[in-house]
Amino acid sequence: MINRRKFLESAAALGLIGALPSKVLKAGNKITNRGIKYKLPIVISTWSHGLEANAESVRVLNEGGGIVDAVEKGVMIPESDPNNHSVGLGGFPDITGKVTLDASIMGPDGNAGGVCFLENIVHPISVARKVMDETPHVLLSGSGALKFALDNGFEEENLLTEKALQGWKKMLERENRTPEINWEEKHNELHDTIGLLAINEESDIAGACTTSGLAAKMRGRVGDSPIIGAGLYVDNEIGAATATGMGELVLKTLGSFLVVELMRNGASPQQACEQAVKRIVDKVADHKKYQIGLLALSKKGEIGAYSIQPGFNYALYAEGKNQLLNAGSFYKTTTNK
């Protein structure tokens, strides 16, 4: 397993994370720049754990790796971080105490793969990649996904750490157990799905999305992240999008597909994210209780980010700088109270 501190130190030494602040967990302090076209490559990903993921994706690209390798290897960093309670190892369990994982990946050739309700595998993204590369299917679930992983040389591991177990127990003690908005800000801890989009110098685009989903979710619950078009979508002619937050809202609106279709119809990535969030606000009656964050990347090298509630941050690697930025939001103050 990669030692987080060592990784941060070496990534910072490579200049990939810039001067990584001691408070890497704190939200960034700049709002996304609209309409800027960056030089390629670009890597953009959800939340502050995206800084490390971006750095790894860039390392892969710099070493001549492919765009699909870059997105897969990038999100493997938070997957194997036991201190990250919303992705892979150390993820918060479902209501029965089991950690279940969802992931998807999509490449520039339009091929896609996903796994959902997968247990005991640290890197669901790599299983999703195998589904994409080596089967005629797109999505494998539960025991079938686990069997496929084991048949392909993945090894089972207990993903429930002591820290996640204790956090989960505390969560269950709370009377009001509605999903928390912006976990990171409240708990000063890494959290939430990592959705990562990348474009290389040849303008090829890929994306990856991986999560342990909603903490204390119902047994069998699957979110948006493994569903192509919901948690992730890539169209190499247009761009890509990914989502984080309350998966049910993204599923009801096919959020990532929507963002890419809006771009196809002329919207910039920023406009597309804003219009898609507005669609969720218009169509989902109880949206005020939840957070959704959307990221987009265009073929031209523009980016977009927007959320329902304030507090959504994302990591952007562009033109040699890897930085944490705040997304704009539909509501200016949190509305779940």
Residue 213 binds ligand ASP (CB under 6 A): yes
Are 247 and 103 a contacting pair, CB within 8 Å?
no
At its nearest, how many Å lie between ligand ASP and the CB of residue 247? 2
Count of CA atoms in the C-beta half-sphere (13 A) of 312: 32
> Do 198 and 71 touch, CB atoms closer than 8 A?
yes
- CA 254, 256, 261, 267 dihedral sign is positive
The three-point CA angle 107-130-217 to 5° equals 90
Residue number with CB closer to ligand ASP (301 or 304)? 304
Cα gap 296→45, rounded to integer Å: 9
Is 71 or 246 the residue whose CB approaches ligand ASP more closely? 246
CB closer to ligand ASP out of 4 and 85: 85
Does 224 sit near ligand ASP (CB under 6 A)?
A: yes
Q: Assess 247 for contact with ligand ASP (CB under 6 A).
A: yes
CB of 219 to ligand ASP, least distance (A): 14
Interface stretch with ligand ASP, choices 104-112, 138-146, 157-165, 242-250 (CB under 6 A): 242-250
Examine residue 236 and tell whether it contacts ligand ASP (CB under 6 A): no
The answer to the question of residue 90 lying near ligand ASP (CB under 6 A) is no
Number of H helices, E strands in the chain: 10, 13
Is the Cβ of residue 123 or residue 191 nearer to ligand ASP in the bound state? 191
Q: Which entry of 193, 211, 242, 244 is annotated as an active-site residue? A: 193
**Does residue 192 interact with ligand ASP by CB under 6 A?**
yes
245 binds ligand ASP (CB under 6 A): yes
Map tokens 């937050």 to a residue: 245
- 193 counts as catalytic: yes
Do the Cβ atoms of 285 and 265 come closer than 8 Å? no
CA dihedral 305, 306, 311, 317 (to 10 degrees): 0
Residue 13: exposed, middle, or buried by beta-carbon count in 10 A (0-12, 13-18, 19+)? exposed
Written as one string, the DSSP assignment of 208-268 is EEEE--STTPPTT---STTSBTTTEEEETTTEEEEEEE-HHHHHHHTHHHHHHHHHHTT--
State yes or no: residue 325 binds ligand ASP (CB under 6 A). no
The answer to whether 326 contacts ligand ASP (rule: CB under 6 A) is: no
Which of 87, 103, 118, 214 touches ligand ASP by CB under 6 A? 214
The CB-of-212 to ligand ASP minimum distance in angstroms stands at 8
Binders of ligand ASP: how many residues, by CB under 6 A?
12
Q: Which residues are catalytic?
A: 193
Residues that bind ligand ASP (CB under 6 A): 192-193, 211, 213-214, 223-225, 244-247
